[in-house]
Structure 1
Amino acid sequence: MAQLSGTVAVVTGGASGNGREICQTFAAAGADVVVADVREDPRQGGTPTHELVEAEGGRATFVNCDVSNRADLEDAVEAAEAFGGVDVMVNNAGIFRGEEFLDVREKGLQQFLDVNVKGVFFGSQVAAERMLASDGGSIVNMSSIGSIRALGAYTAYDLTKGAVTSMTYSLADRFGDAGIRVNAIMPGIIGTAMTEEDVPIVGTDHGNQYARESIPMERFGSPEEVANAALFLASDQSSYVNGESLVVDGGVTHTG
């Protein structure tokens, strides 16, 4: 397993779903973790992520963080100072819902932009400021296959994830010479509490049939598989990987 011993990671949206699994995976690999989220309790229920990490012998703290507010992101990165300073920033927090393009209005679009784009922009910014004053670091942005493949009634979501992908490339170019690597993950359909609520087919017989017929690996992904991709990009095992978008979708984007 890739190791993060001696590092400190900030994970936005770390209370639930993919973010929760990333926090646990990073902690198991030796990282101290700042769980930054608008909620402390997991969406799927259970023990708060930071408490779970501590119960398993790791070090973690929770920070209430609305990623649409730059000051909250500053607080999350500041919390990492108690562990020694931020080495890894995972901009995972995001919102996802389907809405017919002709029905999207300004308030709904602005919410997508505030969380999915502004949150990644300023999350990267506040982390980069700290990383520039140290020995560099790794920024991992959560994009989506929706940034490169049409997802039907998810135009507003696709728009924001396209912005995340483009931003990742730009930041990789901007900070590569400072030892700050910036990469993205593009998940396909992953079985989380959010997708089970917001994607009607997930967790149903119809969904399983869709997966068998449409995804080369014949199943949806798991949060553990996304977390392992994040671990690779965060660690020195990807030391020469910069400006990459790692697709984690069972092969559906390019072969399905």
Structure 2
Amino acid sequence: MAGKLSGKAALVTGASSGNGRAIARLFAEEGASVTVADIRDDPRMGGEPTHELITAAGGEAQYVECDVSSASDLRAAVSATVDAYGSLDIMINNAGVERQRPIEEVDEDDYDWLMDINLKGVYFGSQAAIQQMLDQDGGGVIINMSSIAGIRGLDESSLYCTSKGGVTNLTRELAVEHGENDIRVNALNPGFIETAMTMEDGETAGGILEQTPLGRAGQPEEVADAALFLASDQSSFVTGHNLVMDGGFTA
């Protein structure tokens, strides 16, 4: 039986670990050919590189080194996907970082570092994908990784909230701008997901979980399931949407 993404080519940034790794693996299981794009492919969680796990399981994948703060790297990753698989049908702008500190302690280097990855990377990743999708004249899907921090404030997170707020509204704008081209643009807004990055600060994690009605952290595989819905034809009439998956935190 064919998978939900059979015949599709997908590019996933930040796919060496965490949510991106889970998304890349699930998409490959569902029949997509996947470009794993990251600055390294030695995931912090340990284990085999993502693209090797995919190919060992019978899927099709390649690794491309990509610094998402560089627009030229993002264009090169798109080109590598098209060269290998013939098209780019799904773009997942997943790569992101976090830095918690009160605004009075943030300096310009902090700001530039985080915005270059979290917001500039999504902006120019979307641009590169849209340019290719327009050339193909067959539409496509873009999924941006936002956060609950893109729709509400969090303590000592002015940098992160600013970046993810930008991603949230960029998603809406691109959906409006390119709906006529059959390019659907949506975002995922996860709450606390158990990854190497989020578990680094146990005190913050505990505070968020105390306010989460389901009483637990989400798993990267659950984020991947939501991404699959937005990437597949099951969401063919969904665009400009920010899908909140936070265990009830924002409720």
1:2·1:232 contact (CA, 8 Å) conserved in 2? Answer: no
Which residue, out of 88, 91, 108, partners 1:89? 91
Q: Is the 8 A contact 2:33 2:85 kept in 1?
A: yes
Unaligned runs of 5+ in 2: none
In the other structure, the counterpart of 2:55 is 54
Cα distance change, pair 169–62 in 1 and its aligned pair in 2 (3 A): same
Residue 136, structure 1, aligned to residue 133, structure 2:
no
Aligned residues: 248
1:223 aligns with 2:220: yes
Number of the residue aligned with 1:119: 121
Alignment of 1:1-256 (within 5 A): 3-81=4-82, 82-134=84-136, 135-198=138-201, 200-202=203-205, 207=206, 211=209, 213-254=210-251
Q: Percent of pairs identical after alignment?
A: 53
SS of alignment partner, residue 146 of structure 1: helix
Task: For residue 159 of structure 1, report the CA deviation from its aligned partner.
Answer: 0.3
Q: What is the deviation of 1:201?
A: 4.5
Residue type at the aligned position of 2:107:
R
Q: What is the Cα deviation at residue 66 of structure 1?
A: 0.3
CA offsets, 1:121-141, max 9 Å, x none?
000000001111221100000
Q: Structure 1: state its 5+ residue gaps.
A: none
Instruction: Provide the secondary structure at the position in 2 that maps to 1:133.
Output: helix
**TM-score under structure 1 length normalisation:** 0.94
Offset of 1:200 from its aligned partner? 3.9
| Deviations, residues 19-62 of structure 1 (Å, cap 9, x unaligned) | 00000010011100000001111111110000000001000000
Once superposed, which parts of structure 1, at least 4 consecutive aligned residues long, lie more than 6 Å away?
Answer: none
SS in 1 for 2:37: strand
One-letter code of the match for 2:45?
Answer: Q
Rate the CA distance shift 1:219–1:180 in 2: closer, same or farther, 3 A: same
**CA 1:200–1:45: 2 relative to 1, 3 Å:** farther
State the alpha-carbon separation in 2 of the partners of residues 22 and 92 from structure 1. 9
| Matching residue's letter, 1:158 | C
Mapped contact 1:97–1:198 kept (Cα < 8 A): no
RMSD: 1.4
* Whole-Å separation in 1 of the counterparts to 2:80 and 2:226: 25
Amino acid at match of 1:26: F
Partner SS for 1:247:
strand
Instruction: State how far apart, in whole Å, the 2-side matches of 1:224 and 1:54 are.
Output: 19
SS of alignment partner, residue 91 of structure 2 = strand
Q: Partner amino acid for 2:249?
A: V
Check the 8 A contact 1:141/1:168 in 2, yes or no. Answer: yes
Q: Provide TM-score, normalisation by structure 2.
A: 0.96
